[in-house]
Amino acid sequence: MQPGRDISILIEIMARLRTPGTGCAWDLQQTFETIAPYTIEEAYEVAEAIARGDRHDICDELGDLLLQVVFHARMAEEEGAFAFPDVVEAITRKMIRRHPHVFGPAEARTPHLVKGLWEKIKAEEKAEKAARHGGESPHGLLDAVSIAMPPMLRAVKLQQRAGTVGFDWNDPRAVLSKIREELDELEAEMDRADNGEVNKTEARTAIEAELGDVLFALANLGRHLDIDPEAAVRATNEVLAGSQDRRLMAQVAPK
For residue 55, the domain's CATH number is: 1.10.287.1080
Whether residue 163 is contained in a domain is answered as: yes
Whether residue 106 is contained in a domain is answered as: yes
The answer to whether the Cα torsion of 129, 144, 70, 98 is positive or negative is: positive
Whether residue 146 is contained in a domain is answered as: no
Residues 102 and 176 in one domain: no
Residues 244 and 155 in one domain: yes
Whether residue 37 is contained in a domain is answered as: yes
The pLDDT score that the predictor gives to residue 48 is: 86
45 and 35 Cβ atoms separated by less than 8 Å: no
Residues 78 and 161 in one domain: no
Element (H, E) at 112: helix 111-132
| Residue ranges making up the domain that contains 43 | 1-89
Distance CA 49, CA 60 (A): 9
Whether residue 145 is contained in a domain is answered as: no
State the DSSP string of 121-163.
Answer: HHHHHHHHHHHHTTTS-SS-TTTTS-TTS-HHHHHHHHHHHHH
Write down which residue in 68, 89, 110 finishes a domain.
89
Residues 156 and 246 in one domain: yes
Residues 109 and 175 in one domain: no
Residues 28 and 68 in one domain: yes
Whether residue 72 is contained in a domain is answered as: yes
Residues 25 and 5 in one domain: yes
Whether residue 242 is contained in a domain is answered as: yes
Whether residue 8 is contained in a domain is answered as: yes
12 and 1 Cβ atoms separated by less than 8 Å: yes
- Phi and psi dihedrals of 110, rounded to 5? -130, 155
Residues 68 and 131 in one domain: no
Residues 56 and 105 in one domain: no
The pLDDT score that the predictor gives to residue 247 is: 59
Residues 128 and 161 in one domain: no
Domain count for the chain: 3
Write down which residue in 111, 138, 165 finishes a domain.
138
The pLDDT score that the predictor gives to residue 107 is: 83
The answer to whether the Cα torsion of 164, 165, 170, 171 is positive or negative is: negative
Residues 222 and 161 in one domain: yes
pLDDT per residue rounded down to tens, the chain (255 residues): 899 999 999 999 999 999 999 999 999 999 999 999 899 889 989 988 998 899 999 999 999 999 999 999 999 999 999 999 999 999 999 999 999 989 988 887 888 888 888 888 888 887 787 777 665 555 565 666 677 677 888 888 888 878 876 778 788 999 999 999 999 999 999 999 999 999 999 999 999 999 999 999 999 999 999 998 888 888 888 787 776 555 555 665 655
Residues 38 and 83 in one domain: yes
The beta strand positions in the chain, using DSSP E, are: none
